[in-house]
Amino acid sequence: MAIPWRQCWRRNAGSTGISLLELFCGTNGRPMSIAASSIRRTDTLGGVANQEQIPGRPVFLNSVTSNILSRHKSPLLYYTPRACCCRRIHSDAKLKEPFTLAQNDLKNIYEDIKKELFVSTTELKSLCDYYFDGKGKAFRPMIVVLMARACNIHSNRAGELLPAQRSIAMISEMIHTASLVHDDVIDGSDKRRGKTTINEMWGEKKAILAGDFILSVASMALARIGNNTVVSVLAQVIEDLVRGEFMQLGSKENENERFKHYLEKTFKKTASLIANSCKAVSILVNSDPEVHEIAFQYGRNVGIAFQLVDDVLDFTSSANHLGKPSAADLRLGLATGPVLFACQQFPELHAMIMRRFSTSGDVDRAWQYVMESDGVKQTNYLAQHYCQEAIRQISRLQPSPERDALIRLTELVLTRDK
């Protein structure tokens, strides 16, 4: 019998070398069949038995997942059996604060983005500049510049940021912001980052055009870099964003498929941008595909953890902290991690999920079920797992203040409250 998720953290486990995202989405973020993941179960005596799947219970609650997650205290989760040209070193030095370390690189980034978006039409300029007000933390550009410097040092070069690498940091923020503009139109949102949304102020049609314009300018800036591989990598982000949005509009009847669908959607809508931006800056300085994969995997795991925490905050943080109404996902008909986990304790949620919480009282009842369940705690545990895998990946690069700052960033992702 599968071990309840809330108990699996107290259980010792052997090494399987399988990460959760590999279990569901494969090593490149693509879907992977459950059978192909070589799932095993460890019994209470430490022996290996065949996996037992219980009807109606998703495979992600099985004990091999428990075994993987029970190693959450280790900075290096797994032993990688194949040889690697990259050092796997985790510095014992005090970890650097990422925002402080990236401050100089990001000092004028929003002003530079506004210069890229310069148009003579006053209204369009106001629309495009609206979210680039410099009040955000520039989370994505910060990761990109730290990854760029870490890869530069790893590649036996000076740690200085290349102009093209900084351009990628700007482009990543532009793509992200354009996606927010479009998301607000799709969701009918009236608040974003504590301020009125563009669609609420200027209308949906102009908001869509503004998002399209920001994307077009980002594409032109990307073309000027002049590296075909980098162009291809970042073009994948835009494709993933569209596919992820379509995935969010659908639901899965089968509970196993539902959680896999959720993780894949999370990768495409949130993590792909971070993962591929990190990969792009590594390509500019190093020809080794293994280094590119390290950068990609770090970004992927941090990106998924970031969204998992975001989904938790929708239940635990006040609207003032979030900058948008709480329970926003439920009101949009979305079943995020806390709801999917809560469904194991409250099967009544299944019908609500399938009708996208559209019946009167569904949102309030679903909220109550989540708060009475372990859904929030389990989603936080899952986010911890992804951050630990991010640490494992980035620790394979040569030691540097930037690499250590990326390690420190995983803690900030898990402890943020907005």
How confident is the model over 229-243, as a mean pLDDT?
Answer: 97
Q: Which has the closest alpha carbon to 355: 327, 370, 333?
A: 333
Of 202-216, 240-254, 387-401, where does mean pLDDT reach its minimum? 240-254
251 versus 249: the higher-pLDDT residue is: 249
The amino acid present at 127, given as its one-letter code, is: L
**DSSP label of 133:** S
- Quick one: pLDDT band at residue 327, thresholds 50, 70, 90? confident
Q: Where are the domains of the chain?
A: 5-69, 98-415
Question: Of 79-88, 133-142, 235-244, which gets the smallest average pLDDT?
Answer: 79-88
Residue 41, number of CB atoms within 10 A of its CB? 18
Of the chain, the percentage scoring pLDDT greater than 90 comes to 62
Of 129 and 135, which is predicted with more confidence?
A: 129
**DSSP bridge partners of 41:** 49
Q: What's the CATH number of domain 98-415, 3.30.360.10, 1.10.600.10, 1.10.3720.10, 1.10.1530.10?
A: 1.10.600.10
DSSP 8-state assignment for residue 267: I
pTM of the model: 0.78
Express each pLDDT in 368-390 by its tens digit. 999 999 999 999 999 999 999 99
How many H helices and E strands in the chain? 21, 4
CA distance readout (Å), 100 to 89, 134, 255, 305, 403? 23, 16, 43, 22, 14
Residue 405 has pLDDT above 60, yes or no: yes
Task: Identify the sign of the CA torsion 24, 30, 34, 37.
Answer: negative
Output the CA–CA distances (angstroms, integers) from residue 316 to 21, 151, 186, 222, 309, in the order listed.
25, 36, 24, 38, 10
Q: Which position has the higher pLDDT, 150 or 137?
A: 150
- The per-residue pLDDT for range 11-57, each reduced to its tens digit, is 333 333 334 444 444 444 443 333 333 333 333 323 323 333 333 33
Q: What is the pLDDT of residue 4?
A: 40
- pLDDT higher than threshold 70 for residue 297: yes
- Neighbouring-strand partners of residue 49: 41
What mean pLDDT, rounded, does the chain reach?
80
State the pLDDT at residue 131.
Answer: 87
Rounded mean pLDDT of 302-329? 82
Secondary structure (DSSP) of 20-51: HHHHHH-TTS----SGGG---EE-TTS-EE--
Among 82-91, 152-161, 254-263, 297-306, the minimum mean pLDDT is found in 82-91
What confidence tier does 67 reach under pLDDT thresholds 50, 70, 90? Answer: very low
Reference 16, options 385, 387, 395, 397; nearest CA is 385
